[in-house]
Amino acid sequence: MKKSVVSVKYMSIKYLAHFYFFVLGKLKTKIYTLVMKKAGKNVFIFSPFRCTGPEGIEIGDNVVIAENCVIGGQGGLSIGNYVMIGNNSTIITANHGFSLSDIPMARQPLDIYPVTIGDDVWIGANVVVLPGVNIGQGSIIGAGAIVTKDVEPYSVVVGNPAKLIRKRFDEATIQKLLSKDSALYKYYKRDYLKTNKPTVYKPD
């Protein structure tokens, strides 16, 4: 009897957690994306989430943004398909100007530069992406990295400032993957946020 009561309590807590994180999470995501310039299918944004300039943010399909992320769209932000952004990450598209000598920096016009994140990018936890950066398709940004300059496709970068440690594939493979005929993935068939068992289809 005692074991049964514990089991019921466990299932109740599990159901409430699922409801809070995923059912309410989808509703919150819908509200966030309604004010963005564009948002694709199967976008999921975990709370808490903060963004400025949402009208400048474009998000592709099958994108997951983890907890405590801060994203700015004032300078323009484009996020591709199948992008994962780890918790506590920050993407900045505008900075305070500091070129004028007779006005405090807090009152100077913003310097704005767009950020572009390609398809199939994995941004680790606690990453900072600075204005004007382009992150190429298939790249991995290691946890805690500060991305100050462009990242070439299929690169693995880490550190502050972020530096290349290796490419994921050889150059011939990368060029093939970047072509319009590439079949890198047929991607996920099922919603892994529900099943936690993604089905990944590799190219034929």
Helix (H, G, I), strand (E, B) or coil at 192: helix
Examine the residue annotation and report whether 18 is marked as an active-site residue of this protein: no
The CA distance from 111 to 36, in Å, is 21
Give me the DSSP letters along 85-141.
E-TT-EE--EEE----SSS-GGGSPEEE--EEE-TT-EE-TT-EE-TT-EE-TT-EE
- Active-site position among 14, 38, 50, 96: 96
Query: Is the bond leading into 48 cis (omega within 30 degrees of zero)?
Result: yes
Paired strand residues for 39: 59
Closest CA to 93 of 40, 42, 133, 142: 133
Closest CA to 33 of 99, 1, 79, 2: 79
Looking at the annotation, which residues are catalytic? 96
